[in-house]
Each structure stands twice: as structure tokens, then as C-alpha cells.
Amino acid sequence: MTEEIIKEMILYFNNDVRRINHALKVYAFCAAIADLEKLDDKNRLIVKLSGILHDIGIKEAERKYNSSAGPYQEKEGPAIARQIMEKYPINTEIIERVCHIVGHHHNYGKIDGPDFQILVEADFLVNIYEDEMDGQAVASIRSKYFKTKAAVELLDTMYL
């Protein structure tokens, strides 16, 4: 089913290849970390769907507010994510959880479970490269936001 959600995300972003590639990279790290951390099937699905859809609100945020700032993405993202997921046989509890994560993924004080934690770590693993962050910034992010053993190991291997 994640393949169908990936296709929906690509169709939604259309020719915005940068955003499509970002979502695919975050999804790949989400899947790897969730597997390495041995999450159960339900939480693994939540993490994967969150990775695919975490930035889905950007397009609408730019249209409405002329900005891709985090708060606008978080405001617009859940409704779009829900619309996409409701086309498929996804449990309502999973849809609600993914929408919660999509709606708060820039608010790190709201991290309330391993599913949310892994999405944040995966997004950072991609953003560090895409934003060309220096070693000091990476070390700060590591100490503040990285908790899972798998993500810490990936971060250290890739950037430190």
C-alpha cells in the first residue's frame, strides 16, 4: 500500500521534483530506521506513511500564504494527507496518528512516540545534506533531537 501512497504524493507534487525527491529520501530513512529499531507492523506503517506525507502541506501553504514555513505546512498538511490516505483501506487510528505527526513535525516538543521520533530523525538526516549544514550544527542537532540507536549510528556515519 505504501507504493500507492508514494504514487499519490508524486501526482500531488506533480513537477516539483525537489519535493518529491525529498519525500522519497525521508521515506527511505523512515523505513530503514523503523526496521532497525524493530518497530511492530502498525508503527512501521505509521512511520512510512508519515515519511511519504510529512511535507504534503507545502504546496497549499505556498498557495495560501506565499510561504513554505513550518507552521503553514503543519496547518495545511493533515487535511491533504487524510484525503490521500482515506482512498485506501488504512485503519482510522493509523490515519489519525499520521495526520498528527504531519501536523506537528516541526514542533519537536510534541514528539510523543517512536513513530514521531523516527520521522523527525529521518527528516534531519535528509535536511542536513540538502541544507549543507556544518559539523557544529550537525552535532547540536544530534545532541538535541536524535534518540534512536539506529538514527544516531546513521548520523554519525554520514556526517560526523
Q: Tell me, yes or no, if the pTM score tops 0.85.
A: yes
pLDDT at position 63: 96
Name the CATH superfamily for 2-159: Hypothetical protein af1432 (1.10.3210.10)
Confidence band for 20, pLDDT divided at 50, 70 and 90 = very high
pLDDT at position 42: 98
Q: Cα 105 vs. chain centroid, distance in angstroms?
A: 7
pLDDT at position 60: 97
State pLDDT tens for residues 84-108.
999 999 999 999 999 999 999 999 9
Average pLDDT value over all residues in the chain: 98
Domain boundaries, the chain: 2-159
State pLDDT tens for residues 132-152.
999 999 999 999 999 999 999
Say how far apart CA 20 and CA 16 lie, in whole Å: 6
Residue 135 has φ and ψ, to the nearest 5°, of -60, -35
Say how far apart CA 160 and CA 142 lie, in whole Å: 10
